[in-house]
């Protein structure tokens, strides 16, 4: 297999986030200008391995010297100030696998991991700007719907030196063929291609402020993520730059886009489309609420209905019950005090799983 960077004059400077955007801009410049277009860009940043441009890393030097405990408190205060979270929601405790910052070994290495992660985000942000600059230059920005979303919360995985796969290779591809040392090896500073590291429990815990747990779990720290929509000509002017509190799920994106472009909803079988359009919210109108939302990702399982959430950290072996409007950080398990509600939601989740397993056997049409 030939990789994209092979045979390029600038192979030594190849960076995947830039390359994705290069292809996106090529697609836009080659599009049929007489019709509408759909562009989906799935950046891998920010993610392991912690590789970033030296100049982007340098911009964050010392930024995280205060450590993850202080960062979490600062971010929680800022989120409350902005209205991103309810001021009544308490900050969740530091995760059990995360030491207090003063007790953390190798603090400079921990700082560096977050510096590189932040540098990855900066590069991604710059590249999103490249797309928006093109749209503005072509006078398309005002009537283009731009949606930014994440698929999960911060990932806690500590990358092991023994972990290998199709995504790893023994030597760098920058022409120097330096050996790559995989794994979160303390005091081996990440950033260059000769390393292969993740940012781990401490910074994932900070990234998911103020919520509990991480990617791979269906608690709020694993599933609550940003959804930002820009559409100058289509969004009510009084909503520009504002927060909307509607509960939504990724399954709502497709029906929303169909609604906005005036297309008919697909009659999907054997399971009808379960998402609903968020288009009214863009005009400050009410959106028909979901009767229930479901998750079953990796270690987790969850169901939400009318503000109540039943969630399991171990695929249904034990369940926890939370009332999110009053306890959005999932700190007060009500399953013993509200057993009937827990049973009701558990049955909803059981029925949903059965419905999807039956569909998988018969095939989606």
In this prediction, residue 46 carries a pLDDT of 86
pTM above 0.85, yes or no: yes
Contact 116, 52 (CB under 8 A): yes
C-alpha closest to that of 120 among 40, 56, 180: 56
- H-run or E-run covering 296: none
Q: Which residues of the chain have pLDDT under 70?
A: 1-2, 7-9, 11, 363-365
Query: Two tokens at 16?
Result: 């995947």
Query: Two tokens at 234?
Result: 């289509």
- Domain residue extents for the chain: 11-223, 290-365
Q: Can you list the alpha helix ranges (DSSP code H) found in the chain?
A: 16-29, 54-58, 67-82, 107-137, 200-207, 220-223, 253-260, 339-362
> Which stretches of 84-236 are assigned E, i.e. beta strand?
146-149, 181-182, 195-196, 227-230
Check residue 65 and report its DSSP letter: T
pLDDT digits (tens, 9 = 90+) for 284-304: 999 989 999 999 989 899 999
In this prediction, residue 318 carries a pLDDT of 95
pLDDT digits (tens, 9 = 90+) for 8-63: 667 678 899 999 999 999 999 999 999 999 999 999 998 999 999 999 999 999 99
C-alpha closest to that of 200 among 41, 48, 12, 5: 48
CATH class of 290-365: alpha beta
Burial class (CB in 10 A: 0-12, 13-18, 19+), 316: middle
Distance CA 342, CA 333 (A): 11
pLDDT digits (tens, 9 = 90+) for 256-287: 999 999 988 778 778 888 899 999 999 999 99
Domain 11-223 fold is Alkaline Phosphatase, subunit A (3.40.720)
**Residue 131: other Cβ atoms inside 10 A:** 18
Measured between its terminal Cα atoms, the distance across the chain in Å is: 33
């Amino acid at each position: 297999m030939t990789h994209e960077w092979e045979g390029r004059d600038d192979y030594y400077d190849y960076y995947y986030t830039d390359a994705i955007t290069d292809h996106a801009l090529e697609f836009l410049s080659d599009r049929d200008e007489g019709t509408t277009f759909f562009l989906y860009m799935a950046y891998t940043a920010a993610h392991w391995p912690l590789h970033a441009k030296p100049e982007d890393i340098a911009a964050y030097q010392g930024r995280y010297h205060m450590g993850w405990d202080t960062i979490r408190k600062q971010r929680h205060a800022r989120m409350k100030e902005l209205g991103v979270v309810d001021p009544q929601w308490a900050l969740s405790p530091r995760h059990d696998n995360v030491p207090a910052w003063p007790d953390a070994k190798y603090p400079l290495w921990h700082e560096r991991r977050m510096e590189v992660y932040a540098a990855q985000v900066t590069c991604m942000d710059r590249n999103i700007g490249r797309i928006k600059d093109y749209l503005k230059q072509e006078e398309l920005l005002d009537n283009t719907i731009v949606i930014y979303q994440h698929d999960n919360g911060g990932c806690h995985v500590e990358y092991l030196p023994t972990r290998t796969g199709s995504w790893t290779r023994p030597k760098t591809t920058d022409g120097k063929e330096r050996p790559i040392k995989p794994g979160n090896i303390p005091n081996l500073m990440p950033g260059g291609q000769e390393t292969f590291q993740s940012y781990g429990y401490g910074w994932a815990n900070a990234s998911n402020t103020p919520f509990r747990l991480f990617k791979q779990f269906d608690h709020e720290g694993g599933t609550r993520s940003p959804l930002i929509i820009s559409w100058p000509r289509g969004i009510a002017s009084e909503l520009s730059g504002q927060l909307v509190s509607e509960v939504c799920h990724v399954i709502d994106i497709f029906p929303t886009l169909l609604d906005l472009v005036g297309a008919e909803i697909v009659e999907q079988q054997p399971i009808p489309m379960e998402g609903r359009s968020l288009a009214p919210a863009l005009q400050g109108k009410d959106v028909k609420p979901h009767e229930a939302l479901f998750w079953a990702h990796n270690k987790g399982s969850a169901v939400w209905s009318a503000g109540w959430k039943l969630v399991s950290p171990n695929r249904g072996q034990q369940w926890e019950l939370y009332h999110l409007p009053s306890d959005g950080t999932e700190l007060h398990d009500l399953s013993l005090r509200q057993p009937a509600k827990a049973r009701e939601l558990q049955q909803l989740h059981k029925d949903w799983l059965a419905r999807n397993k039956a569909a998988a056997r018969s095939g989606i049409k």
